[in-house]
Amino acid sequence: MSQVRRKSTRWVIFVLLLCVAAFVIMPILVVLMNSFKSRFYISSEPFIFPNSETFIGMENYTSGIQKIKFFHSFFISLWITVASVVLIQLLTSMLAWYITRVKGTVTTLIYYLLVFSMIVPFQMVMFTMSKFANMLHLDNPVGIVVLYAGFGAGMATFMFAGFIKSIPLALEEAAMIDGATPVQTFFQVVMPMLKSMSVTIAILNTMWVWNDYLLPYLTIGTTYRTIPVAIQYLRGGYGSVDMGAMMAMLVLAMIPVIVFYLLGQKHIIKGVLAGAVKG
């Protein structure tokens, strides 16, 4: 009797989960479907399949790509994300090693300032930061990497430092006694041990930088548009939106994210979990 009941609850749960999965995927499918429809039919009836009257093939894609120079944006986004993530990894792992291994008031102060920066919302610094970046000529695709390194330093250093504290000192000391310089010790002994933490931090930063809107909009948005900035730009000045091109560009914007997710799914979920528990 209870066996039968358990089996039937199992199936009820399974069906419920299927419904939730459908709800999760549905919005993405609706956007995909509408990206092939003429823009006049999108706002009024988005849930109807394209038919001979509304289907326009790849027209939304070609016009959208032209309007926002999608591939240009794609490469800007790609460059900023890769360069920022690499720079954050390098600078913060060195900084974290230094402040955990050299004890003193200065390093303690640095540590608390970094932790403090994790709490402060972007709105607090957005105006002054973008003006300051402009003064220092950092308002270009190279300079923005420095800004990301600075704004991302808090969380990454905090996570690296927490990890380095758990590594025994003995290995580093042995290397130094054997005559290794601090540079050699760091790159040949410490860095290889940071590997798992590096993956976590790189994933969290990739998701942040790739999807970030305000920072690139305020600093380089007028000349170089990352994907989120380009998408929002489609809105135009007076609220008139070409919904056809919008649908097509949303699809193109989601493809890299979904590919990234399917390739690194295990690491991503693990990384996000670790980030949540630490942060």
Partner 1 sequence: MEKTLKKYFALFALPGLICFCIAFLIPMVWGLVLSFCEFTNITNATFVGLDNYIKAFTVDGYFIHSFWFTLLFTIVTVVSINVFAFILALFLTRDVPGTNTFRTIFFMPNLIGGIVLGWIWQVIINGVLAKYDATILSQTRYGFWGLVVLMNWQNVGYMMVIYVAALQNVSSDMLEAASIDGSGYFNTLFRITIPSVAPSITICLFMTLTNGFKLFDQNLALTAGAPNHTTEMLALNIFSTFYSRIGFEGVGQAKAVIFTLLVAAIAISQLFVTRSKEVES
Chain residues 232-261 in contact with partner 1, contact rule CB under 8 A: 232, 243, 246-247, 250, 253-254, 257-258, 260-261
Tell which positions 81-140 bind partner 1, by CB under 8 A.
87, 91-92, 94-95, 97-99, 101-103, 107, 110, 113-114, 117, 119-129, 131-133, 136, 138
Q: What is the dihedral of CA 17, 20, 24, 25, to 10 degrees?
A: 70
Tell which positions 176-215 bind partner 1, by CB under 8 A.
176, 182-183, 186, 207, 210-214
* C-beta closer to partner 1: residue 126 or 202: 126
From the list 53-61, 65-73, 194-202, 266-274, the region that binds partner 1 by CB under 8 A is 266-274
* C-beta closer to partner 1: residue 56 or 91: 91
Choice from 19, 142, 255, 269 touching partner 1 (CB under 8 A): 269
Nearest distance in Å: CB 251, partner 1: 10
* C-beta closer to partner 1: residue 26 or 58: 26
